[in-house]
Homo-oligomer: A and B are copies of this chain.
Amino acid sequence: MAETRWLDEHEMRAWSGFLAASALVNRRLDQQLKDDSGLSHPQYEVLVRLSAAPGGELRMTELANGLINSKSGLTYQVTQLEKAGLVRRRSCPSDVRGVFAVLTEAGRARLEEAAPGHVAMVREALIDVLTPAQLEALADGLGEVSRRLREHGG
C-alpha cells in the first residue's frame, strides 16, 4: 500500500464541515418534521418520492434505490406509513413478487401540509446560509460525489 496522503488544513476543514453539517442538518430536519407533522425524515422522503412518481406509486426496489436506507429499512417504513394510512401496498399484476407502494389521498394531503415547514427549515438551515457560488459548487461537487458512490456501490 502507498504512503498515506493525510489531509492538509484545507481538506480537513472541508471534511469536518461536511461531517458536522451533515449530522446537524439531518438532526434538525428530523426534529422539525416530527414536531411539526409527526413524520420522520425517512418517511417524508418516501412520501416525496411517491408524490413525484407518475400515478403516485413506485416499486419497492425503485423506492429503495438511491434512498437513505436499506431494503429492510424501507419495508419497515412503508409498513409504518401504511398503518398511518398515508400509503398502501398494491401487488404488481405482471410480477407476483413485485409490490407497489401507492400514495393515498391522506398521504398526499399530509405531505402538502408538511412541505412548507420543511422547505422553510431547509432554507434556514442550509440553502439561505450559502452564497450563490457556494450553492453551485455544492450542487456540482456533491452531485458528482453521490453519482460515483451510487455507481460504485449499488
Contact = CB atoms under 8 A, between A and B. Distances in A.
A58 to B, nearest CB: 17
A129 interface: yes
Contact of A149 (B5, B14, B25, B153): B25
B145 A25 contact: yes
A10 to B, nearest CB: 6
A119 B122 CA distance: 30
12 contacts: A5-B123, A7-B123, A15-B126, A17-B141, A17-B143, A18-B22, A21-B145, A24-B146, A24-B150, A28-B153, A125-B145, A135-B141
Given A5-B123, A24-B153, 13 more contacts: A6-B119, A7-B122, A7-B123, A10-B135, A18-B22, A18-B138, A20-B142, A21-B143, A21-B145, A24-B149, A25-B149, A125-B148, A131-B141
A134 B137 contact: yes
Chain A contact surface mostly: helix
Q: What 10 A-B pairs are tightest by C-beta distance, nearest first? A: A137-B137, A17-B142, A134-B141, A20-B146, A22-B22, A14-B139, A21-B142, A13-B139, A24-B149, A17-B143
Nearest to A70: B27
A133 to B, nearest CB: 6
